[in-house]
Amino acid sequence: MQKNKKLLLLPGDGIGKEVMNEVRRVVDWFAKRRAVAFDIEEDLVGGASYEAHGTPVTDAVVEKALNADAVLFGAVGGPQWETLPFADRPERGLLRLRKELDLFANLRPAVVFDAMVESSTLKPEIVRGLDIMIIRELTGGIYFGEPRGIEELPDGTRRGINTEVYTTPEIERVGRVAFELAGKRKDGHVHSVEKANVMESGVLWREEIQALHDSDFQDIRLEHMYADNAAMQLVRNPHQFDVIVTGNLFGDILSDIAAMLTGSLGMLPSASLGAKDPVTGMRRALYEPVHGSAPDIAGQGKANPIAMLLSYAMMLRYSFDLPEDADLIEKAVSEVLAGGLRTLDVMQKGMARVSTGVMGEAIIRELDKLSA
Ligand code: IPM
Ligand code: MG
């Protein structure tokens, strides 16, 4: 790379900070050993930003995120902020970043490492070899639809309102990401998930996805499925899925289910991508683990840094077109797990329980070995 790319690190709250520390070590390793160097800035988001500035994300941080080549995000939230008004809550910081960067496509892979087959709550034969990609629409649907709010009614009771809205362009652009990605995978098979049996936005979703398929992606196998059935099928026979494309709320729920198939939320990365810049061809992008801030174990060195490190790998793959470097991290993680090290969240009998830092260190040592 000629000019260093700009990375913005937003560790956030709880274990977000600890897992981000491990990313810094991996970033340093790549700078030294693979000449993959970044200019790094770090800033506050979530509860940490609220404490310092009275808002879960400042305009200045949004501006930095808009100007970065990629954002790495830890996690936000904690019990001390749960009673704040909605607009001040840590989660709003993340939602505002997603919206302002227009990160409409959220990629959530659920991959079962061989060494982890036993730690799923499902039988090994159900989850072995699993490799699913959930593509969740991230800037529309009921998360952002208007009208919304809580109203006082004349009789003294109240009414809470949220609105599920999808437009043709919103469905089309996320559908395109899903079909293109499916085209690069072994199976090339897309399930589009909605509730067309009860929701008009679901009917539109189904029709637009089908139309996009018929015009531009006829070679990809497409099936439609209702969201409740998809949830059930994911735990019944997850191997029937390859790529799932769905709206914001169903994607939130289905990706947590898919995550648990792999044994732990602590293992799963995600990428949130915007539109391609017409000049550079690069997409705005934010990478974050699927897990939350886990306040109950924060600051104790118990957190699993793997989801965060795999998010960094996704960044190398999707933002900087460095698939070999991404593969290297994924291979290192797989080897370390095969070697028997586990953080608390994925602890199994016969394995060695290690702290966040020791897990990070082991992955660095494995990177050394793999690149020797
Ligand atoms: C996620 C999280 C967020 C969401 C929360 C923290 C707002 O659950 O990224 O899946 O609901 O999108
Ligand atoms: Mg979620």
Nearest ligand for residue 91 CA: 1
Answer yes or no: are the C-beta atoms of 69 and 282 closer than 8 Å. yes
Name the domain count of the chain: 2
Dist. CA 117–CA 123, nearest whole Å: 8
Mean pLDDT over 350-368 rounds to: 95
* Residue 372: per-residue pLDDT: 87
Nearest to 260 by CA among 287, 288, 234, 230: 234
Is pLDDT above 80 for 1? no
What single-letter amino acid sits at 89?
A: R
Q: Is the CB of 252 under 6 A from ligand 1?
A: yes
Residues 64 and 144 in one domain: no
Question: Could you please report the per-residue DSSP string of 194-240?
Answer: E-TTT-HHHHHHHHHHHHHHHHH-TTSEEEEEEHHHHHHHHHH-GGG
Dist. CA 318–CA 107, nearest whole Å: 10
At 272-308, the pLDDT tens digits run: 999 988 888 889 999 999 999 999 999 999 999 999 9
Q: What share of the chain is helix, strand, coil (3-state, %, to 5)?
A: 50, 20, 30
* Assigned domain for 268 exists: no
Place of tokens 């981000």: 20
Residues 97 and 186 in one domain: no
Distances (CA, A) of 195 to 48, 93, 201, 247: 37, 29, 8, 10
Residues 74 and 3 in one domain: yes
Dist. CA 306–CA 266, nearest whole Å: 7
Residues 141 and 248 in one domain: yes
* Residue 344: per-residue pLDDT: 87
Residues 65 and 183 in one domain: no
* Assigned domain for 123 exists: no
Å from CA of 161 to ligand 2 middle: 20
At 107-116, the pLDDT tens digits run: 999 999 998 8
Q: What domain range includes position 198? A: 131-261
Of all protein residues, whose CA lies closest to atom 2 belonging to ligand 1? 252
Nearest to 60 by CA among 138, 4, 8: 8
Alpha helices in 277-355 (DSSP H): 306-318, 323-338
**Nearest atom of ligand 1 to the alpha carbon of 95:** 7
- Angle at the Cα of 82 from the Cα atoms of 79 and 83, rounded to 5 degrees: 125
* Residue 14: per-residue pLDDT: 97
**Strand-pair partners of 158:** 152
**Nearest atom of ligand 1 to the alpha carbon of 106:** 9
Please tell me the total number of residues recorded for the chain in this structure.
372
Residues 20 and 90 in one domain: yes
Residues 150 and 47 in one domain: no
Residues 136 and 244 in one domain: yes
Å from CA of 251 to ligand 2 middle: 8
* Assigned domain for 39 exists: yes
* Assigned domain for 111 exists: no
Nearest to 80 by CA among 268, 295, 240, 244: 295
Nearest ligand for residue 288 CA: 1
Give the domain-ending residue among 209, 227, 261. Answer: 261
**Nearest atom of ligand 1 to the alpha carbon of 292:** 6
Nearest to 259 by CA among 222, 295, 234: 234
Of all protein residues, whose CA lies closest to atom 7 belonging to ligand 1? 91
Question: Could you list the active site residues?
Answer: 143, 195, 228, 252, 256
Residues 184 and 288 in one domain: no
**Nearest atom of ligand 1 to the alpha carbon of 94:** 7
* Assigned domain for 95 exists: yes
* Residue 346: per-residue pLDDT: 82
Rg (CA), the chain: 20
Give the domain-ending residue among 231, 261, 291. Answer: 261
Answer yes or no: are the C-beta atoms of 142 and 249 closer than 8 Å. yes
CB neighbour list of residue 72: distance below 8 Å, 6 or more residues apart: 7, 8, 9, 10, 20, 23, 286, 287, 288, 308, 311, 312, 315
Residues 175 and 236 in one domain: yes
Å from CA of 33 to ligand 1 middle: 35
Q: Domain holding 203: CATH number? A: 3.40.718.10
Nearest ligand for residue 77 CA: 1
* Assigned domain for 53 exists: yes
Nearest to 290 by CA among 264, 312, 269: 269
Is pLDDT above 90 for 260? no
Give the least confident one: 8-12, 183-187, 234-238: 183-187
Distances (CA, A) of 111 to 77, 197, 263, 272, 284: 26, 30, 10, 18, 24
* Assigned domain for 21 exists: yes
Answer yes or no: are the C-beta atoms of 262 and 116 closer than 8 Å. yes
Is pLDDT above 90 for 193? yes
* Residue 2: per-residue pLDDT: 56
| pTM for this entry | 0.93
Residues 227 and 346 in one domain: no
- Test site for ligand 1: of 10, 95, 136, 287, most ligand atoms within 8 A of the Cβ: 95
Answer yes or no: are the C-beta atoms of 347 and 118 closer than 8 Å. no
293 DSSP assignment: -
**Nearest atom of ligand 1 to the alpha carbon of 98:** 12
- Test site for ligand 1: of 252, 255, 291, most ligand atoms within 8 A of the Cβ: 252
* Assigned domain for 155 exists: yes
Chain mean pLDDT for the chain:
95
* Residue 253: per-residue pLDDT: 96
Residues 156 and 221 in one domain: yes
Of all protein residues, whose CA lies closest to atom 6 belonging to ligand 1? 91
Give the domain-ending residue among 261, 294, 319. Answer: 261
Nearest ligand for residue 292 CA: 1
Å from CA of 252 to ligand 1 middle: 7
Q: Is the CB of 91 under 6 A from ligand 1?
A: yes
Q: Is the CB of 94 under 6 A from ligand 1?
A: yes
